[in-house]
Amino acid sequence: MGKTTGFMEYKRSDNTDIPVEERIKSFREFHIQLDDDKRMEQGARCMDCGVPFCQSAMRLKGMVTGCPLHNLIPEWNDALYHGQVEHALSRLIKTSSFPEFTGRVCPALCEKACINGEHGDAVTVHDNELYIIEKAFERGEMKPRIPEVRSGKKVAVIGSGPSGLAAADELNHRGHLVTVYERDDRAGGLLMYGIPNMKLDKSVIDRRRKLMEEEGVAFITGVNVGKDVSADEILKEYDAVILSCGAKQARALKGGDTEKIHGIYYAVDFLKSTTKSLLDREGSIRDRAAEDFLSGRDFISAKGRNVVVVGGGDTGNDCIGTVIRHDCRSVTALEMMPEPPLERPESNPWPEWPRVLKTDYGHEEAIRIFGMDPRVYETTVKDYITDKKGNLKKIIISKVSFEGRQMKLVEGSEQEIPCDLLLIAAGFTGCEHYTAEAFGAELNERGVIRTGNGSFRTSRDRVFTAGDMHRGQSLVVWAIAEGRACAAEVDEYLMGYTNIRSCL
């Protein structure tokens, strides 16, 4: 696939970024795409490897490497190299529901499994994917695909995150009448309010929603199913229901009565407040400058504050990038785990997921602005210091050690640091229970909805589940894979058979 000797002739070229000092002045996306000729060269680097691990989704030592959607990566790279962008699109959307999302926010499991990466640089699969889909929208090739025949069956999808959208998209194209319910004022779930705009411009979500509406999917926002509308009402109106509400039960910090302290927030609440304020002001935040935004007070502001972020994942990094755009005084990121190595150890060979240090955009920006990496490893919060009004002023941090999976504070390692805004990005413990309970769907020990192995059917008849509400906190690409697979099972339940392709 691609050019036989392409991986030897062309070096890897990633999309470039707007310089840090410039990009932190706005909330706009900051990646600069390669031109058409350079992108074709990157497609040419996809070699005739024989066994394309990039599309395998193999589980090795408890972690997956390769694409969970089993995208036909060598095929669309080959088409890209030959300038056949329309054909590349046809191969891409055969397996991928929303390449414009994964092409922006996916950590590229495919690239970590690319055989070029064993001894050199992997193919730019992530950037190639984004180029193909954005070129298709630009050229007007992403036209509504309206089903010619309708089944008459009605499906309700509760939650409009990536799994709910993927399930709705597949079932609608199959001919069912699909309605998506979302409790927030805008569709997208964590795509809309959990990922900041500079990483995923919200106009991209609105564009996809508009396309889905033109194809026949109905969206009802601002309705909290299980509270505003009862489960019985939904089950009376629809032939099947999919619960795809995510795993939004945030993990709290131990120690101290944090609910009574002013200045402590969960990361998702903080990120949502910024995005919602920007959207409510402009309708679109593509051209909204950070300094203009900061004049308002209808959001959780980090301006002039000493910020500490607890948690080292993608959400923690997004918080760092956001508070820098707020013009914070300082930012520190606490991570309980040890600092990863810079290079793969022998115990972590290709094609396993590389357990190495990743410096993301937020870390890069903090290093440039404050002159140091914000991350402090093997450290957690031990206690909080407030003023008489209960406003957070400082925190006491402590080094930690592990005995097996049990974490312990290291005595004598305590340190007091300034902090008047603490953001908790420590992950999630499962789904919020009320929707599952309203539908009578049982939960398992992980706090998500119980189903049989390899199934998306809940303990309640006609009720299915997908995404993080089913598998627990995970990646956007896994949520899309779950949504597509769940759609196939729902379709088979409704029709007695299915021709929806399940990738799981």
For 171, 172, 287, 484, the CA distances from 462, given in Å and listed in that order, are 15, 18, 45, 17
What integer best gives the mean pLDDT of the chain? 94
d(CA 429, CA 153): 35
Structural contact between residues 145 and 215, judged by C-beta atoms closer than 8 angstroms: yes
Position 290 scores a pLDDT of 53
Give the dihedral sign, CA 417/419/425/426.
positive
Question: Residue type at 256?
Answer: G
The per-residue pLDDT for 281 is 78
pTM score, two decimals?
Answer: 0.95
Nearest in space to 238 (alpha carbons), one of 469, 463, 493, 12: 463
The token pair at 389 is: 């009004």
Amino acid letter for position 232:
D
**Contact yes or no for 192/235 (Cβ under 8 A):** no
CA dist., res. 137 & res. 211, Å (int): 11
Q: Are 136 and 200 in contact (CB under 8 A)?
A: no
Name residues of the chain where pLDDT drops below 70. Answer: 1-2, 256, 282-297
| Cα 319 to Cα 331: distance, rounded to the nearest angstrom | 10
Nearest Cα to 1, choosing from 50, 36, 34, 39?
50
Q: Where exactly are the structural domains of the chain?
A: 6-138, 154-249+429-495, 258-424
- pLDDT at 256 (0 to 100): 67
Q: Which two tokens stand for residue 26?
A: 């706005």
CB atoms within 10 A of CB 246: 25
Which stretches does DSSP call E strand in 131-243? 154-158, 177-182, 218-221, 240-243
Contact (CB, 8 A) for 27 and 285: yes
Distance CA 387, CA 214 (A): 55
In angstroms, rounded to a whole number, what is the distance separating the alpha carbons of residues 74 and 352? 20
* pLDDT at residue number 4: 85
The pLDDT tens digits for 121-172 are 999 999 999 999 999 999 999 999 999 999 999 999 999 999 999 999 999 9
The domains spanning 154-249+429-495 and 258-424 adopt the same CATH topology: yes
**In terms of Cα–Cα distance, which of 254, 260, 358, 371 is closest to 314?**
358
Q: Which fold has domain 6-138?
A: Fumarate Reductase Iron-sulfur Protein; Chain B, domain 2 (1.10.1060)
Report which secondary-structure segment, H or E, holds 332.
strand 330-335
DSSP for residue 16: E
Nearest to 204 by CA among 100, 128, 127: 100
CATH class held by domain 258-424: alpha beta
pLDDT of residue 294: 59
Burial class (CB in 10 A: 0-12, 13-18, 19+), 43: buried
194: helix, coil or strand?
A: coil
Lookup: tokens for 504: 């799981």
Superfamily name with CATH number, domain 154-249+429-495? FAD/NAD(P)-binding domain (3.50.50.60)
- Going by C-alpha positions, the residue among 502, 428, 468 that lies closest to residue 57 is 502
Q: What is the 3-state secondary structure (H, E, C) of 364-392?
A: HHHHHHHCCCCEEECEEEEEEEECCCCEE
Query: If we measure between CA atoms, which residue out of 229, 252, 39 comes closest to residue 126?
Result: 39
Q: Check if the beta carbon of residue 251 is closer than 8 Å to that of residue 426.
A: yes
